[in-house]
């Protein structure tokens, strides 16, 4: 039985669905999906077209908005919205260190997690669509990894779509993970340089913190080992609109004077732990590189291997000279499964996924070249998380896709831009812009 309730200006309804774990085995094991239906309060009884939102990640549940926040208010002008917690996330059947041992050992866990990529998510969407829309196609809004899922949707089930809207999420159709991360590190370095140009005092602050960590390597209150590499990974903040400012405020009060000398403050350590912990989204770490797996080559901890090609990211070498300590970005590394207590029990599972060589293709280039679904994409120029050149090449491969290339926003433009980003893209798919 569905439960409906109200927030300012909207009516929400909890929806739950049972779908096969493996859609090629429809009579086999099942999992549960959770989604939140949202409609404007003054249109709750109206017949409206549906818009499905696919969150970025992988591994994050859909946004928990309050009222008509961010893009939601614009969507509700025309649509009834379904905020889907993709399989394994949010209130859907969870996949984490507590639940995965129910599968068995690491091998069984890794086999289970092969069903948590874009292709399975899209088949989930097609399984629930008749139950939501009565069979009518819907508009899909895909943010970041949700955009990857949307391109898979266009490749495999375009008949389910009335329109496709993508924000910061046009994937390369054929790049190996190595190509993705080899392109990423120079982009990350530019973001770090821009941060230090804005806040030059942070160069010395970051060096002092990194030097302290190389000497002490504290264990945070939740059991997280704060290595210098973990500290550098805070650079993931630099891919969001306010991330540079947030990083600056984090660094400015890192130390406190104690009877034993300078130490990292409790306040700094608590903030860092909240930023670094994967407890709330372990799938991000487990399947992040797997979203690029499409052939018989293993991903093999690609981000870690590609980092070795860019020695300027070695903090110890930077400290031995006078160069800045560079932060890193959206990447997953094997040492995270040692430093983070939420990931430690899953280290062998992650290793087996990194070694896997039987990934199936995610995109059908011939079908995309013949696309007839109205589609539009926002491409954020020099997006730290998604390579602009890769995105533009994919845009040219999808027939009829209209693009809006802008440097007004970072990767989270659809969130921080309020209704403007979605409004522009909806105008594009309707030939109104």
> Which of the following is catalytic: 27, 45, 296, 358?
358
Active site (annotated) includes residue 412: no
Q: How many residues does the chain have?
A: 433
| 295 counts as catalytic | no
DSSP per position, 38-84: EEEGGGTTS---EEEEE-STTT-PPP---SSTTTHHHHTTT-EEEEE
Q: Which residues contact 330 (CB under 8 A, 6 or more apart)?
A: 184, 236, 239, 384, 385
Annotated catalytic residue: which of 115, 176, 411, 412? 411
Catalytic pick from 92, 144, 277, 397?
144
User: Which CA distances in Å does 103 have to 29, 106, 111, 113?
Assistant: 12, 9, 9, 10
Tokens 């608590």 sit at which residue? 270
Cβ proximity of 270 and 314 under 8 Å: no
144 tagged catalytic: yes
Q: Compute the distance between CA of residue 4 and CA of residue 15 in angstroms, rounded to an integer.
A: 9
Alpha carbons within 13 angstroms on the beta-carbon side of residue 348 total: 9
User: Which residues does the annotation mark as catalytic?
Assistant: 144, 358, 411
């Amino acid at each position: 039985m569905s439960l409906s309730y109200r927030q300012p200006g909207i009516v929400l309804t909890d929806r739950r669905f049972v779908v096969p774990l493996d859609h090629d085995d429809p009579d086999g094991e099942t999992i549960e999906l959770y989604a939140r239906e949202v409609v404007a309060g003054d249109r709750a009884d109206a017949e409206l077209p549906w818009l499905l939102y696919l969150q970025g990640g992988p591994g994050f549940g859909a946004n928990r908005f309050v009222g008509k926040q961010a893009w939601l208010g614009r969507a509700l002008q025309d649509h009834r919205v379904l905020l889907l917690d993709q399989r394994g996330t949010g209130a859907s059947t969870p996949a984490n260190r507590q639940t995965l041992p129910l599968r068995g050992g690491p091998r069984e866990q890794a086999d289970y997690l092969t069903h948590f990529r874009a292709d399975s998510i899209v088949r989930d969407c097609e399984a629930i669509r008749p139950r939501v829309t009565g069979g009518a196609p819907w508009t899909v809004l895909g943010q970041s990894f949700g955009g990857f899922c949307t391109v898979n949707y266009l490749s495999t089930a375009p008949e389910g779509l009335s329109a496709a809207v993508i924000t910061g999420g046009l994937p390369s159709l054929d790049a190996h993970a190595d190509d993705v991360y080899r392109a990423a590190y120079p982009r990350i370095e530019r973001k770090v340089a821009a941060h230090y140009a804005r806040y030059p005092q942070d160069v010395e602050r970051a060096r002092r913190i990194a030097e302290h960590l190389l000497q002490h390597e504290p264990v945070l209150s939740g059991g997280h080992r704060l290595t210098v590499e973990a500290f550098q990974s805070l650079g993931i903040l630099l891919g969001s609109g306010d991330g540079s400012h947030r990083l600056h405020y984090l660094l400015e009060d890192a130390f406190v004077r104690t009877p034993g000398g300078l130490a990292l403050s409790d306040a700094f350590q608590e903030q860092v732990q909240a930023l670094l912990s994967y407890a709330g989204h372990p799938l991000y770490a487990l399947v992040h590189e797997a979203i690029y797996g499409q052939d018989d080559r293993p991903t093999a901890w690609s981000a870690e291997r590609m980092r070795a090609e860019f020695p300027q990211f070695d903090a110890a070498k930077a400290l031995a000279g006078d160069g800045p300590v560079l932060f890193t970005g959206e990447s997953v590394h094997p040492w995270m499964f040692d430093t983070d207590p939420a990931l430690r029990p899953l280290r062998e599972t992650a290793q087996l996924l990194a070694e896997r060589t039987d990934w199936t293709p995610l995109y059908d280039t011939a079908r995309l070249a013949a696309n007839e679904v109205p589609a539009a994409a926002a491409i954020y120029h020099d997006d730290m998380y998604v390579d602009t050149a890769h995105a533009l090449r994919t845009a040219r491969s999808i027939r009829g896709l209209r693009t809006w290339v802008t440097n007004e926003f970072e990767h989270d433009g659809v969130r921080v831009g309020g209704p403007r980003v979605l409004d522009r893209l909806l105008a594009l798919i309707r030939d109104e812009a």
